[in-house]
Every structure is written in C-alpha cells, then in structure tokens.
A and B are shown apart, each in its own frame.
Chain A
Amino acid sequence: MKIKVNKMLGAASVLVMGLAAGAAQAADTIKVGVLHSLSGTMAISETTLKDTILMLVEEQNAKGGLLGKQLEAVVVDPASNWPLFAEKARELLEVHNVDVIFGNWTSVSRKSVLPVIEELNGMLFYPVQYEGEESSKNVFYTGAAPNQQAIPAVDYLMSEAGGSVKRFVLAGTDYVYPRTTNKILEQYLIDKGIPKEDIMINYTPFGHSDWQTIVSDIKTFGSAGKKTAVVSTVNGDANVPFYKELGNQGITAEDIPVIAFSVGEEELSGIDTGPLVGHLAAWNYFMSAESEANDEFITKWHKFIGSEDRVTNDPMEAHYIGFNMWVKAVEAVGTTDVDTVRQAMYGITYPNLTGGIAVMNTNHHLTKPVLIGEIQDDGQFEIVWSTPKGVIGDAWTDFLPESKNLVADWTAPIMCGNFNITSGKCSGQNY
C-alpha cells in the first residue's frame, strides 16, 4: 500500500511539476503526454498503461534521456469521459506543448481526439486492438487491426488444430468495435463457405451481467451436431459474469471453445480461471511468451509497480514498441518535430517482446505476429499457435465491399489515409 501511495504522489508531483515549471523547463526537457483515464469505468484498463509509460520514461531517463535532454511525463486524466478526451488532448498540446502523446483505449475516445490532434498537428500512439477502417496522419496504431487478430483467430478455429469448427456464435458488446469486427467476420465466414444459418450473432449492453439466456442459447446452438465455437468481442467488465455462467452451465472448452479478443491477462486477474481452462484468446503478445526481452520486461515491470502479482498484457507491449520506436526515430533525426519524426517512423523496426521484429508501415500500422493462447488455471495463457511470421496491419479491411478498394499510405505519391485505388481519389479526412 505504501508503495502505491508513493507512486501516486510521484505521479501527482510529475503533474504539478509539469504545470508549474512548464515554460521555464520547456527548453530542457522533452515532454511525453499521457492521455489515459485514471478514474471512471475505463480506469480499470487504462491505469496500467499510464504506469507503463511512466516506467518507460523512467528507464529512458536512466539511460541518459533523449537527445541529451530528460524526458518528462505529463499525465492528465480524461476520466473515461469521451468529450473530455478532446479537451485534455488540447490541453496537452497547447498548454503543456508535449512532443508526443500516448493514450486512449476505446475507439470512441480516439474518434473524439482525432480532430484536435489533426488540427494542432500532434502525434498520438494508440495501443489497443481496434476495428480498423481508419488511418490518420497524426496517429500511429500500435494495437492490432482486424486482420491481425480476428481473421487469424477464425482461421485457427477452422483449422484441424482448432477443432475444425463449422458453426460460429459471434457474441459482442453493443458498440462500434464489436459491430464492425463482426460485420467483417460474418462476411469472411460466408466467403469461406459457412452458411448463414450456422452463424449466430448476438449483442449485449455494456456491463451485461445476466448471461443465463444467452449461454443457454449458445448451448442449444452448439448441440446441433456441428462443432461450434464462440467468437467473443464482449468488452471488459461483462466478461467475468459471461465466463462464470459458461462454467456454471457446464460448457467446457472441449465442447464449445470461446475465443476472445478483449480478454487478456489483466482481465483474467479478477477471476477464478479454473473452469475456463482451454478457452482461447488471440493477441499479438502473451505474458507467457518465452523470450529474454519478455523476461526482462516483466522483471522491470514488477520492480516498477512494486508487486510480483501484477501481470503484463498486449496493450502494454504495444506501448513498449511504440515508445521505443518513437525514441529511435527521434534519435535518428535529432529533433522531436512531429513532421520530421513521422517521416523517420516509416520502416522503423524494433524487436517485439515475443521474439521477432515489429515494423512500422506507411499506413501507420505495425507488422506483428499473431498468437493464439489457451487459458490456464494460473490465469496465464499457453500459446498453442502463432503465425509463422509477422502480419502487416491492414487499415482498411479487404472483406467489406465499402473498404475493399481503400488503402492508406502516408508517403509520396499517395500521401493519403483513405485512397481509393480504383477511382484514384483521396477522400481526405473522411474516415
């Protein structure tokens, strides 16, 4: 507890320093904005990411800073309030003059920040897996696009190792990410020859806690003689009651496996995983990945946060890669000027924590490997499958008719996040 209080004081003093010494120190430090909710509903996920950036900043400073200057983290709290994200982004860029921002979790908060960050020409690193269909000049997307998570996950389920699944339940929370992802997946499954009656789509409200009927429906849907699986885009808080109900109604992973895109180590830490063994998740990173870089990262995290019980997860790795790529790019060009650094970001590489190399592409998405893990009874994932090499993040999915012809490329000659290759037109900022 004491450590935590100290930490909070530390964070607060960073904040105060940022406010008080703003102008005087502007020349001496490079400012890193942190735009993650520390209160409200999303605090559960985003607080960890704030701590990750603070750790990375501390580590970089211990190495002697950047361009001979110290890094300074400026932490603001948008309080899970989507319009407030835009205001806080403006405050970071106009009042604190930060050189780069790491932040956001939900897509709606990112959409709210976009106009501000483009107007003021800032640079945002967004670390969470999302629905794609976007590429802004001012945002680097270090989380997975649908083709780096959803599509490989379904491919795995349909393969022999995944159980040759023939019938799919697409269950999600009712908002933009699951709706878009499920639209893409439904089209993809139909293209793969799965008949429409073998796909069941189900949406639930945020924080849904009474899963009895839905789980019972899934059970019935799965007893029709074809191997069935659930593809879950159920968001954070609703997952615990969902998995509890699955366990209570006796649905095991051998009968009907559930593959989730929003359940990682952090979400499992609030739940008894005994009945969940064998259910799956698709990510670009698992804490159980065996590599020296990962061991080192976990050790550092435990030391920084002061607890051996805290886990690491995929968005943390995304921040780790994003932060280090930015540092590398700044070092390469010798300035933090946004336009110059952006040019240097293209093609930049950094080893990811699971082994292999992440590459930043000109569509502002990463090339990363895709891993499938099975939940174990200790709350960790056992990696059962991975793509042989990195998968290039695709900003505009090829599986929806409206975005099939769109590409994003922020280098000459295209210079557009939304370029139609058949008409040769750039639709500008209309994502």
Chain B
Amino acid sequence: MSVAALISSLRTGLVTALAALVLAICVTGTAGAQDAASEDALKAALPKLTERSFDVKGQAIKDISTSGDPRALDLLLAIQEGDLYYRKSDDLIVYAADAESGYDIKDALTGEDLGNVGKRKVKKISINNQLRSILKGAIGSLELMSPNPDQRVAAARAMLSNPTADAMPILLTALEKETDPAVRDMLDLAKAALEASIGSVEDRLAAVEIMAGSMNPDVWAILGRLAAKSDGSGSEDETTVGKAAQQALNEIEGQKQVFALVETVYFGLSLGAVLLLAAVGLAITFGVMGVINMAHGEMLMIGAYVTFVVQQLMPNHIEYSLFVAIPAAFVVTGLIGIGLERSVIRVLYGRPLETLLATFGISLFLQQTVRSVFSPLNQPVTTPEWMSGFYEVNGALSLTYNRLYIILFCLIVFAALLLLLRKTPLGLQMRAVTQNRAMASSMGIRTGWVDAMTFGLGSGVAGIGGVALSQLTNVGPNLGQAYIIDSFMVVVFGGVGNLWGTFVGAMSLGVANKFLEPFTGAVVAKIIVLVLIILFIQRRPRGLFALKGRSVEG
C-alpha cells in the first residue's frame, strides 16, 4: 500500500470512527470508554457468524449492529453482498474478493492482507431470507446517519418494512436531527409503524392517523395486520386501533383502485407494443405482399439470437449492446429474408397453400439449425442496467423500465416504417407493386427486385422485434413459435394491408387481454380474446381497417 493510499484510508477510517462516535454518544448519552466496550461486543459477535444455525447468525447480526463499532456497517454490507467468508482452518472472519484463482482475503477486524487462498480453504457466511430482512433493518439503522439523503430515505424505508422495537431510540435521534423533508416523512412513517404496535392506545391511534393516506405497501401491510383485530378477537384497545386501521385502509382502497386502472392500461399498452413489434414485420410480408409466411416467428428468433451473439462479442459493453444488436439483427434477418424470397417464395407467388407449406418447412428447418448450432438450451441474454427496475409513481403504481422502453421503441419503429412506406421511392414502389403488379411492371418498376426488398424489409423488422423480445422472454429455438399465432391474429384483426390497422389491432388486443385477465385468469382470457376475434372476423372478414378500392379484389 502506498503512503498516499494509507493516509487516505486512515482519513476515511477516522471519519467513520468519528461518525460512529457521534452515533454512540447520541444513542446512549454517555461518552467514555465506549470504544473498548463496542469492540468487545463486536469481537464477541463475530465467531457466532460461523455457526450453521441461522438463528445464531441472526443474533450475531443484531449484536454487530448494536455494538456501536465503526466497522459494523462494512461487515453487515459484506454479509449482504456475500463477500464475508471464514477461514476453515481457524474460523477467522475474512473479506474475500475474487482473484484469478481462489480468493484474496483480508482480516475483517484488522484489515490485514492475508494473501491468496484456494476456493475450498474458505467458506462463505451463508444467509437465508430471514437473515436478509434482519440485515436490511440493521443496515438501515446504521445508514440513518449517512450524509446522503437518498441513502437515509432508503434506510428509513428499510426500517419501515422490517420494524423492530430496538430500532426506536435510533429512529428518535435521527428524527431530531433530520432537516430534509422527504427523509422526515419517511422517518415519521417508520416511527408510526413502530408505535402502532407498541405504544399506548392514544399513541397507536395517532400512529394510524399518520399512516392513513400513505401509498406505501409496507404501511398497508402494517395497517392490515392491525385491522385484522378489528373483529374483536383481541383486547378492547386492539379492537379500537383495528377499527381505525380498517377505516384508514378503506380510504386508501379508493385511490388504489384508480391507480390499478392506470396500471392495467399500462400493462395492456405494453403487451400491445410487444404484439406490434412481433407482428409489424408480418404486416409487411403478409399484409402488404400477401405471402403467408409461417417462418416469420423464426425471424424474430434469429433477431433475438443476434442480440445474444452481439453480447457475447462485447461482454464489457453490455450497456450499449442493444444499440449494436438492432442494426445487426435488421441486416442479418433482412438478408435471410431476401435469400428466402429469391430462392423459394419467388416461384410460389399466387399459390398460397404451397407458400404456407414451404414456409412452414423453412421454419422447422431454421429451428433445428439453431438447435444444432447453439444447442437446444436457452441462451442467457443480459438486460442492461438502464432497462432493469421500475419508476415508482407511488406504492400502488410503478412502471417497469423495460416495458416503458419497449413501448417507446415500438412507436419509433412504427413511425420509421410509416415514413419509409409513405415518403421514400422504395415505399412508393412497394405500394405500387402490391396494388397492381402488372401495371407497376409496365411502368418500368423492377417488380422482382421490389418483392425481394419488401420481403427483406419485413424480415428485417421482425429481426428488430426479436431484439426487443430477447429482453422479455427466453431466447431459445422455440421463441418464434410462441409469437407466430399472435402475429397472425393481430394482422388479420387489424386488417390486411394496412399498417395502422396492425397498430390499432395490437394495442386493442393488448388492452382487452389485460382487462380480461384479472377476472378470468390468463388461460380463459386468451380463449375469450380468440373467440371474440373469430366473431369479429365473421362480421368484418377484412378486419378493422379494410382496404378500399379495386386492389381489394386482387
């Protein structure tokens, strides 16, 4: 270790020590020989971590968090992250970091470097879910003094979801010093959550009052527990508090329902976006060209596999991999599409039944090829950091990022496709050829070339859809099969030959599905949607947006 590093680590050590000292003073109100006592408490707690019993370990974690020693927080974080090990030879607790072979270990108490050891020489301090929640609460109580307000909010929230009575004094001191309003609100809630179960009736009623109107699911859980006693099964006090809690819950219920409605619409739109991405390629090959392309699903699958390959090629830049995968998937599947059109579909125009059989055969061929090249197992496609997690509007409504991005992406792809068809020479030629091949040909359009380009475009867009699907579902040889039926459903329902029809069709099917699902379950919802579509097609065989004019007869 260099001198500068030593100084800086000394400095941070000093700061943490000071902070802990402040904490210790605040908590107990006495200064003095605290350091020695807290170190003893820590030292006494550590060996318990090597025990097999999770109860003993849980006690050890509580002891560490209340020891007041400055090293407690780092220790607890390391347990949570799975970086804390013990040496099998002498049960010494160590931090371990992955090295090229084995682990580099450091004494957890003194920080002394103990060199590299083999994987089997040390054993991880394993935790289970029970310990994870204890840890969360313990870390929360230590991080309440953190200088970062976001961390303090998170800490207060952690204490709210794992309320323990011994956290009360820490909470009170934190509340005394806190100036940030967001943190204060959360701390108030956490305090109320504690008081609701331990204080006097007045305190508890006041606590319920504070919690009423909160949109935090942890608060609902606490209110729910209190409300369970409102039927008079507990003592008289408990019944009074329970009734108040029930009242508060009823008030929240109305708000929750509004947000639930918004959530369902969001779910519906995101399902619609997925359907649209899966179907929009088919809307071109089937809708515009009239080719019943059973291999469409495999284009989606190949797009997803391109994402996988791109991620394998740039393992250190996963965050950007999707931006590379999108054009790559477009080019790869587009070229495959052109190849297919020139070699197979070209000779089958005007013979829909044969086209169906041929493309179905191609789809089986592509599936088994992928199985032979990549193995039949699913391939892991990593979701970039920026696509994980959710944006929390409040406790009742949170929007998952991956769905949000997919809705946006789907709109962009759709808009680009519309522009291409409406505003470019290629788009003009495509529309001309599909409307009247003979006339277009006599106007000097190379219809064969346009056919190949159109099919390539449809396949390429399917490939892009595959990139999006790789973020939601399994990347395996069967990916395409799962979406081919849905894609045809959307295109037929929306109206063949009309991109807007596909758009409206996808979105309305998505929303309808999501509104049905809570009442009927996923299986029946799907059946109802299919039956509705059959009925609809009987009434309007050409779908929502039927093409008008002579081309309809063609």
Contacts and interface: CB of A to CB of B under 8 A. Distances in A.
Interface of A: 4, 8, 38-39, 41, 43-44, 47, 160-163, 174, 202-205, 207-210, 212-214, 216-217, 219-220, 223-226, 237, 240-241, 244-245, 247-250, 252-255, 257, 266, 269-272, 275, 278, 280, 374, 376-377, 382, 384
Given A212-B267, A219-B217, A254 B132 contact: yes
Interface stretch (B6-14, B326-334, B374-382): B374-382
B448 interface: no
A213 B478 contact: no
Interface residues of B, number: 66
B128 A271 contact: no
B220 A44 contact: no
Given A174-B523, A223-B220, A213 B517 contact: yes
A43 B402 CA distance: 29
Given A4-B375, A161-B54, A249-B390, A226 B523 contact: no
Contact of A44 (B228, B401, B476): B476
B371 A43 contact: yes
Kindly name the residue among A207, A275, A377 whose own CB sees the greatest number of chain B CB atoms within 10 A: A207
Given A203-B521, A210-B274, A213-B264, A244 B514 contact: no
Kindly name the residue among A44, A214, A269, A278 whose own CB sees the greatest number of chain B CB atoms within 10 A: A44
B130 interface: yes
A244 B264 CA distance: 19
A203 B221 contact: no
Contacts of B218: 223
A223 B514 CA distance: 21
B59 interface: no
B482 interface: yes
24 contacts: A8-B372, A38-B376, A41-B478, A44-B377, A44-B378, A47-B377, A162-B130, A163-B129, A174-B523, A205-B522, A208-B522, A210-B271, A213-B517, A213-B518, A219-B217, A223-B217, A237-B478, A241-B473, A269-B378, A270-B379, A270-B475, A271-B378, A275-B388, A384-B126
B384 to A, nearest CB: 11
Given A223-B224, A225-B225, 8 more contacts: A205-B526, A207-B482, A210-B271, A214-B517, A216-B267, A223-B220, A241-B472, A253-B132
B447 interface: no
Interface string B379-403: 1101100001110100000101111
B342 interface: no
B128 A161 contact: yes
Contacts of B477: 43
A249 B398 contact: yes
Contacts of A376: 82
Contacts of B220: 223-225
B119 to A, nearest CB: 12
A163 B477 CA distance: 39
Kindly name the residue among A205, A210, A377 whose own CB sees the greatest number of chain B CB atoms within 10 A: A210
Contacts of A216: 263, 267
Contacts of B521: 202-203
Given A161-B130, A203-B521, A237-B474, A212 B403 contact: yes
A67 to B, nearest CB: 35
Interface string B257-275: 0001001100100110010
Contacts of A275: 388
B130 A163 contact: yes
B224 A225 contact: yes
Contacts of B247: none
A207 B478 contact: yes
A240 B474 contact: yes
Contacts of A271: 378, 380
A270 B474 contact: yes
A115 to B, nearest CB: 28
A240 B473 contact: yes
Contacts of B398: 249-250
B368 interface: yes
A393 B129 CA distance: 28
B473 A217 contact: no
B136 A254 contact: yes
Contacts of A214: 517, 522
Given A213-B264, A217-B518, A248-B390, A224 B224 contact: yes
Nearest to B524: A203
B133 interface: yes
B362 to A, nearest CB: 16
Given A272-B380, A374-B128, A247 B388 contact: yes
A194 to B, nearest CB: 14
B390 to A, nearest CB: 6
A244 B401 CA distance: 12
Contacts of B403: 212, 248
Contacts of A272: 380, 382-383
A217 B378 CA distance: 28
A344 B514 CA distance: 56
A270 B378 contact: yes
Interface string B29-60: 00000000000000000000000001100000
Nearest 6 pairs between A and B by C-beta? A225-B224, A270-B378, A43-B376, A225-B225, A248-B400, A223-B217
B523 A47 contact: no
Interface string B461-493: 000000000001111111001100000000000
A379 to B, nearest CB: 9
A25 to B, nearest CB: 29
Contacts of A225: 220-228
A250 B389 contact: yes
A306 B259 CA distance: 53
Interface in B521-548: 521-523, 526
A63 B117 CA distance: 36
B128 A384 contact: yes
A248 B514 contact: no
Contact of B377 (A163, A226, A245, A270): A270
B409 to A, nearest CB: 16
Kindly name the residue among B217, B263, B376, B472 whose own CB sees the greatest number of chain A CB atoms within 10 A: B376
Contact of A270 (B82, B380, B526): B380
Interface in B163-210: none
Contacts of A269: 377-378, 380
Contacts of B383: 244, 272
B225 A226 contact: yes
Given A249-B400, A382-B126, A205 B523 contact: yes
A219 to B, nearest CB: 7
Contacts of B382: 272
Kindly name the residue among B82, B378, B403, B526 whose own CB sees the greatest number of chain A CB atoms within 10 A: B378
Kindly name the residue among B129, B161, B221, B228 whose own CB sees the greatest number of chain A CB atoms within 10 A: B129
Contacts of B522: 202-205, 208, 213-214
Contacts of A280: 129
Contacts of B371: 39, 43
Interface in B497-526: 513-514, 517-518, 521-523, 526
A255 B133 CA distance: 8
B271 A212 contact: yes
Contacts of A247: 388
Nearest to B395: A223
A244 B390 CA distance: 12
B479 to A, nearest CB: 9
Interface string B206-245: 0000000000011011111111100000000000000000
A209 B129 contact: no
A196 B93 CA distance: 47
A223 B378 CA distance: 34
Nearest to B397: A216
A266 B129 CA distance: 23
